[in-house]
Amino acid sequence: MLINYWPIAILIAVSTFLAVAVVVFGHLIGPRRPSERKAAPYESGMEPIGPGTRRMPVRFYLVAVLFILFDIEVIFLFPWAVNFRNLGVFGLIEMFVFIVILLVGYVYAWKKGALEWE
Amino acid sequence: MTVSELGLLNILPILILVVWACVLLLLDVFVFPKREQVTPLLSAVGLVVALIYTIPQFGQPKEAFNGMLVIDGFAVFLNVLVLISGLVAVALSYDYLNRMGMARGEYYVMMLFSISGIMLMTSAADLIVVFLALELLSIPLYILAAFGRPKMESEEAGIKYFLLGAFAGGFVLYGIALVYGATGQTGLTGIVEAASGGLENPVFLLVGAALILVGLGFKVAAVPFHMWTPDVYEGAPTSVTAFMAVGAKVGGFAALLRVFMIAFPSISVDITPVLWGLTAATLIVGNVLAVAQRNIKRLLAYSSISHAGFILMAFVTYGDASVRPEATAAVLFYMVAFAITSFGSWAVVIALEHAEDRGLELEDYAGLGRKRPALALAMAIFMFSFTGVPPTMGFAGKLYIFRAVIQGEYYGLAVLGVIVSVISAYYYLRVVVVMYMREGDPETHSEGWLNLTTAVTAVGTVVLFIFSAPLFDWAAQAVLRMF
Amino acid sequence: MVPVSYYVALSAILFSIGTLGVLIRRNAIVIFMSVELMLNSANLLFVAFSRLYDLEGQIFVFFVMTVAAAEVAVGLAMIVAVFRNKRSIDIDQISSMKG
């Protein structure tokens, strides 16, 4: 029942309080000596190169979309793998058909040059 | 399970189309150097083969995937219509795409996928299949609408169609979820059985059905869910618009009819007033706004909204079991009439269209009667058919629709239908007047496939009118075993 | 166990947020995200109801996720194409057709 969720509610309350408190107290008590170097975007200790909000090359996006398309199909593979023995040869053939359809798309994307970086 | 248990042979036409589309996609990238000339021919071959396997299916209803798909007369009738529409659309597209520099093989592949989606939709007897078919029919259409890229209007049409189509898909899905929650079933016959046994939460069923109605209303462009139609029809390449106008409507109405008539007859008391209002709004808005249009593509877009209204008129009677077969047959017949007239009129639009959207205003049709008498005659036939003047298919279609509506005793709707028909005469006949009475020198294209399509649809509009009685009988027979 | 009605309420709220998002927001990507929210609220409903009935609802969710992925691919491709052309994805700014 709902009573079981009390620990979670308490945890949420505590963590919210902590997060707010750290920020607020740090703001109130901490010393503030701003310098240009401190205001610069943090790039793992390196000298920052260029502005922080650069536009991404569109190629990343192409890869990302292809990734979504082929990645999501795994949700059909998992239930199939769990029930592999029950489904038997028929399930194997079904999955084979499914993969072939995916392969058609993959080959098309490949031949169209969607996987080339340059 | 075996192939015969799944009923794979019963959905052979759909399988042929899907497999053929995949093969064409690969052939396209691997084999042909001049592929944009070969792919249309091959896709037409695929459509013909599917048609050959579809026609003998008429008769005893068959099932596939444990009753998730039903191939009955209703489905076969619409599948034949859709496959022929696909052939016409390929013929329309071929010259147009070459002329506009858009010829790419993927166009026809997308069309094949969309057609297979429509065919799945006509035979869907389970809400899961309805949703999947809806997406399979829509997603290729989004791509096709944006096919004119990098032309801005086409991209805009694509993105608008996509956003509103996905929005509508969300409504359908949520509606399906609520229906599932109310009945525990997604199969249409299962839903009606559960509903007749009494439900714990009948309101879920009602809201779910209403949401499905909203979502499919978007797809068939019923008012107030029509806002996307004029923009998308105007911006999309004209050959795509022609296909979309028929394909999306057939798919949407097929799902509406089957889902509501089979699964939701028990709540027809609550749904019918809503449908009544929807129909009246669609008829009025579609016809009145069409009067103000000067752009022929927008004019035909509003015209297609108004024809959705006429089809909805017959659908309003769905709760009345005695009128249901007659009304369904009338809808099937009207879809044939609409498809043939619509394709014909878009073919004429394509014949006058030039690069960069020139030749699309009503004024560009001035003098067509003198310069291309045959083309002008064809356009006049289509306009008469849209208005509902004999001897055209449009007249016969309206006749059957009105007969069903009067049988269902919706006299108010029938009167409204007559009034808006009179309004529609104004803007349809204006096109005819401009063609014949005004002086002008329109530039036209005369291309083999395009001329053939125009001629066939024009002749068909008249000849099918003569054979409208047997055609209606066929439609009536098709729906006989549906209920 | 949390009662099913709680999930139904949550999913109705999510669906409403999604619908309002589509109607109010003007950024094409945000509109699209709102549509995804609508789809996922339906998914939540399916999974919740499937506890009352059978596994059918959960299976449906798999299909919905796949379809949503296909829509993402097509939609993002279009949004990128429009952005390259117009340098904007504001739905009011890319609207040129009127009437």
Which residues of chain C from 33 to 92 reach within 8 Å of chain B, CB to CB?
A: 35, 38-39, 41-43, 45-46, 48-49, 52-54, 56-57, 59-60, 63-64, 67, 70-71, 74-75, 78-79, 81-82, 84-86, 91
pLDDT at B202: 87
Q: How near does any CA of chain A get to the CA of C15, in Å?
A: 23
- Count of the separate structural domains present in chain B: 1
Of C15, C67, C94, the CB nearest to B174: C15
Sequential DSSP letters for C75-87 = HHHHHHHHHHHHS
Of C46, C56, C70, the CB nearest to B139: C70
Euclidean distance between CA atoms B228 and B222, whole angstroms: 11
pLDDT band at C38 (very low <50, low <70, confident <90, very high): very high
Tens digit of each residue's pLDDT (9 = 90 or more) over B275-316: 999 999 999 999 999 999 999 999 999 999 999 999 999 999
Would B391 be classed as within a structural domain? yes
Euclidean distance between CA atoms B146 and B133, whole angstroms: 21
pLDDT band at B393 (very low <50, low <70, confident <90, very high): very high
A101 shares contact with chain B (CB less than 8 Å): yes
pLDDT at B31: 75
C-chain CB neighbours of A1 within 8 Å are 1
Which of C29, C32, C65 would you mutate first to test chain A, the one with the most A CBs within 10 A? Answer: C65
Which residue is closest to A102 within chain B, CA to CA? Answer: B22
Determine contact, residues C52/B184, Cβ cutoff 8 Å.
yes
Buried (b) or exposed (e) across B206-215, using 16+ Cβ within 10 A? bbbbbbbbbb
Which of C74, C80, C93, C95 would you mutate first to test chain B, the one with the most B CBs within 10 A? Answer: C74
Packing angle of the helix pair B373-387, B324-352 (nearest 10 deg): 150
B298·C49 Cβ contact <8 A: no
Question: How confident is the prediction for chain C on average, in pLDDT?
Answer: 90
Q: Average pLDDT in the B377-392 region?
A: 94
Which residue is closest to C83 within chain A, CA to CA? Answer: A58
Q: Structural domain of residue B431, as residue ranges?
A: 280-483
Would B218 be classed as within a structural domain? no
pLDDT band at C67 (very low <50, low <70, confident <90, very high): very high
Percent of chain A with pLDDT over 90: 31
State the alpha helices, DSSP H only, in C1-99.
4-24, 28-50, 56-86
- ipTM for this model: 0.96
A-chain CB neighbours of B2 within 8 Å are 90
Comparison of pLDDT for B283 and A2, the residue scoring more: B283
pLDDT at B406: 94
Residue B375 confidence (pLDDT) above 90: yes
Query: Which candidate, B180, B172, B161, places its Cα nearest to that of C15?
Result: B172
pLDDT at C86: 83
A-chain CB neighbours of C62 within 8 Å are 75-76, 79
- What count of CB pairs under 8 Å joins A to B? 14
Of A58, A68, A79, the CB nearest to C69: A68
Query: Which candidate, C73, B449, B38, places its Cα nearest to that of A73?
Result: C73
pLDDT at B135: 95
Task: Say which amino acid occupies B119.
Answer: M
B-chain CB neighbours of A93 within 8 Å are none
Would B250 be classed as within a structural domain? no
pLDDT at C39: 96
Which of C7, C36, C61, C72 would you mutate first to test chain A, the one with the most A CBs within 10 A? Answer: C72
pLDDT at C21: 94
pLDDT band at B201 (very low <50, low <70, confident <90, very high): confident
Would B139 be classed as within a structural domain? no
Question: How confident is the prediction for chain A on average, in pLDDT?
Answer: 85
pLDDT at A61: 82
User: How many whole angstroms from its chain centre is CA B311?
Assistant: 11
Residue B98 confidence (pLDDT) above 70: yes
Give SS3 for B432: helix
Residue B112 confidence (pLDDT) above 60: yes
pLDDT at C98: 59
Q: How near does any CA of chain B get to the CA of A97, in Å?
A: 11
Would B141 be classed as within a structural domain? no
A-chain CB neighbours of B29 within 8 Å are 107-108, 111-112
Percent of chain B with pLDDT over 70: 98
Q: Average pLDDT in the B127-155 region?
A: 92
Q: Average pLDDT in the B86-107 region?
A: 90
Would B376 be classed as within a structural domain? yes
Q: How near does any CA of chain B get to the CA of C2, in Å?
A: 16
Query: Which candidate, B387, B459, B462, places its Cα nearest to that of B429?
Result: B387
The burial of B377, by beta-carbon neighbours within 10 Å (0-12 exposed, 13-18 middle, 19 or more buried), is given as middle
CA distances from B184 to A15, A89, A100, B158, B341 (A): 40, 31, 34, 37, 43
pLDDT band at B463 (very low <50, low <70, confident <90, very high): very high
pLDDT at C97: 67
CA distances from A51 to A42, A45, A48, A59, C88 (A): 11, 16, 8, 20, 21
Percent of chain B with pLDDT over 90: 72
Which residue is closest to B150 within chain C, CA to CA? Answer: C85
pLDDT at B151: 86
Two tokens, residue B427: 């803007």
Euclidean distance between CA atoms B69 and B290, whole angstroms: 38
A90·B26 Cβ contact <8 A: no
A76·C66 Cβ contact <8 A: yes
pLDDT at B413: 93
Tens digit of each residue's pLDDT (9 = 90 or more) over A79-99: 899 988 888 888 899 899 999
Q: Average pLDDT in the B372-387 region?
A: 94
Tens digit of each residue's pLDDT (9 = 90 or more) over B247-260: 999 999 999 999 99
pLDDT band at B2 (very low <50, low <70, confident <90, very high): low
Question: How confident is the prediction for chain B on average, in pLDDT?
Answer: 91
Would B452 be classed as within a structural domain? yes
